[in-house]
Amino acid sequence: MKKQILVTGGAGYIGSHTVVELVAQGYEVVIVDNLSNSERSALDGISKICGFYPPFEEIDLTDYQATEHLFQKYNFVAIIHFAAYKAVGESVQKPLAYYRNNLVSLINLLELMNKYGVDNMVFSSSCTVYGQPEKLPVSESAPIQKAMSPYGNTKQISEEIIQDAIVAMPQLKAIALRYFNPIGAHESALIGELPRGVPNNLVPFITQTAIGVREYLRVFGSDYNTPDGTCIRDYIHVVDLAKAHIIAMKRLLENKNKSSFEFFNLGTGKGATVLEVIKSFEKVSGQKLNYKLVERRPGDIEKIWADTTLANQELGWKAEKTLDDAMLSAWRWEQHYRSTLQKKQ
Ligand code: UD1
């Protein structure tokens, strides 16, 4: 029987980009998604890029039996686990839903990996585990700070769960990838970020404003201690990010990992302010963006960007695309998505 890679949340934003990179590199992929925060149309986009539909299972990973059925049906060698809720604000309103969804699905997967002898997991973590770091750029050895939201806490607890599981299941190996701010879309514009309702994140809000779906962008805070007063983040192109997952997975499959649980920052190593992101967008799109400087958003940290030395040295991975590349691809995706919506109406 052929060996497959399970991509949970494979219809989602980072998941879909990782699926197409895996397929491009010759891996057999099984996508699992409960479509709670993704669209079936993402699978059509994937199929157009890949030339076929990778197997898709609409399963909720908090359902142990359904998940076990999946392990019986396929022969997984590795799991790339994206499936999780990810909205910071929503997690404050619905903490228990976040803990149940993000933690129970992980626990189910780890139990079944143990039972069915699947030894390799790449886990989708976040720079949110660092809070506002004292030293910038932030490296993997920076102290984990108390989470600012239930969402952030699920990422911290998930890393701890994996760590503890590895002690009891010595055959298990995992890599946690701590993402900074993923943006942009596949160059084909056939897949991209598809937020439901009003976007929480900056870049989809910018592109939706430019295309006329939103009236104006609110820039949250202009009195931060940064060169132009707006927050700094490390924006990384989603395709660069997707590629790092395959490298991490190969590292596990080839037993090149240096410990059973490794952590890597995935960012560009460079920060950009909100106004710099807007300028980049205006430059590559030729559009003037309507925006207003407003009050700070509660819970936002002032500035963070990644020390990527470890990922560069150990994974041999480096972000290649620029902020301009990412903003142009996000804009192309927004235009393509809106034109397909119009055709459907
Ligand atoms: C945060 C988390 C990240 C998490 C993500 C999920 C940190 C450092 N990052 O990202 O781990 O995965 O949420 O959603 O904790 N902004 C505006 N106007 C808007 C939207 C955003 O000015 O309409 C600004 C924000 O104030 C921030 C920047 O844009 O400075 C990026 O915001 P966003 O895209 O929401 O991501 P983070 O909050 O950095």
**N-terminal to C-terminal alpha carbon distance within the chain:** 44
Ligand 1 pocket test target in 179, 233, 294, 302 with most atoms within 8 Å of CB: 233
User: Do 326 and 241 touch, CB atoms closer than 8 A?
Assistant: no
Instruction: Give the model's confidence band at 3: pLDDT under 50 very low, under 70 low, under 90 confident, else very high.
Output: confident
Closest approach atom of ligand 1 to CA 148: 15
270 Cβ contact partners less than 8 Å away, ≥ 6 residues apart: 234, 305
Residue nearest to atom 34 of ligand 1 (CA): 201
130 Cβ contact partners less than 8 Å away, ≥ 6 residues apart: 138, 142, 143, 144, 145, 178, 304
180 Cβ contact partners less than 8 Å away, ≥ 6 residues apart: 127, 233, 234, 235, 236, 265, 266, 267, 268, 304, 305, 306
173 in any annotated domain: yes
pLDDT digit string, tens, across residues 127-180 = 999 988 999 999 999 999 999 899 999 999 999 999 999 999 999 999 999 999
Strand, helix or coil for residue 81: strand
Residue 216 to residue 286: CA distance in whole angstroms: 17
The pLDDT value recorded for residue 305 is 98
The pLDDT value recorded for residue 1 is 53
Distance 233 CA to ligand 1 centre (A): 8
206 within ligand 1 shell (Cβ under 6 A): no
86 within ligand 1 shell (Cβ under 6 A): yes
Distances (CA, A) of 60 to 64, 127, 226: 9, 26, 42
Among residues 27, 130, 151, 235, which one is catalytic? Answer: 151
Ligand 1 pocket test target in 37, 88, 198, 305 with most atoms within 8 Å of CB: 88
Structural domains in the chain (count): 1
275 in any annotated domain: no
63 in any annotated domain: yes
The pLDDT value recorded for residue 343 is 82
310 in any annotated domain: no
Read off the pTM.
0.97
66 in any annotated domain: yes
Closest approach atom of ligand 1 to CA 201: 34
- Select from 87, 67, 57, 88 the least CA-distant residue to 298: 88
Distance 236 CA to ligand 1 centre (A): 13
252 Cβ contact partners less than 8 Å away, ≥ 6 residues apart: 78, 119, 120, 121, 122, 173, 174, 175
Residue nearest to atom 20 of ligand 1 (CA): 202
255 in any annotated domain: yes
Question: Is the pLDDT score of 17 beyond 90?
Answer: yes
User: Do 106 and 162 touch, CB atoms closer than 8 A?
Assistant: yes
304 in any annotated domain: no
The pLDDT value recorded for residue 2 is 66
- Provide the CATH number for the domain around residue 148: 3.40.50.720
* Domain range for 248: 4-184+236-266
Instruction: Give the model's confidence band at 344: pLDDT under 50 very low, under 70 low, under 90 confident, else very high.
Output: confident
